[in-house]
Amino acid sequence: TFFNVFNSVTNGGKTTLAEKLKNMLPNCDIISQDDFFKPESEVETDERGFKLYDVLDALYMDEMVTSIHNWMKSPASSGVVTEEPQKTCDPLKNVYILIVEGFLLYNYEPLNKLWNRRYFLTLPYEECKRRRSTRVYQPADTPGYFDGHVWPMYLKYKNELEENASMQVDYLDGTKSQEELLSYVYSDIIKELNKLRE
């Protein structure tokens, strides 16, 4: 069993990258943190009226932990892709790979010791805001939400990671092409699998 985890600023490209990797790797499954958001009625609102979605309390993290542990117990029965991938590679035979993708993963202690590789996709402010403006959210972003909540929480979280000297995170430039990012991460996974086999 091998675990990769993708963390990213909002609209950093983690979901697209994870899906493309799944198609290249055999016996690969994805668990997305976005699937564990609490309903809007259970998400706290601050004094400005902003719904606080970019914090761990907005998520059913205990359910996410359970899903990951259930996958670990029986990866072969989890509905993973078992057919030949687009690219075959000897070190991947008989290995089950789980990609976990989300925006708040590395500061959640119950999961943090599981990860073999940690990737963090970053974006500069203007590009992140531009991408976010092209997406439709339910509930929709209120005026000032990106600057008042989303971006500050991203900076806070990223600073916490950078100050944690024991945390090994591979920071990736989210402005690079998907092809370049995919090539890098795929090669990195293969190298890591070879190390684990040695």
* φ/ψ bin of 27: left (φ > 0), alpha (ψ from -120 to 50), beta (otherwise): left
> Which residues are marked as active site?
34
DSSP state of 148: I
**25 in Cβ contact with 189 (< 8 Å):** yes
DSSP state of 51: B
Burial classification of residue 131, based on how many CB atoms lie within 10 Å of its CB (0-12 exposed, 13-18 middle, 19 or more buried): middle
Contacts of 38 (CB under 8 A, 6+ apart): 58, 59, 60
Count CB-CB contacts under 10 A for residue 27.
Answer: 21
Contacts of 92 (CB under 8 A, 6+ apart): 25, 26, 27, 85, 190, 193
Give CA separation, 146 vs 53, 141, 154, in Å: 11, 8, 10
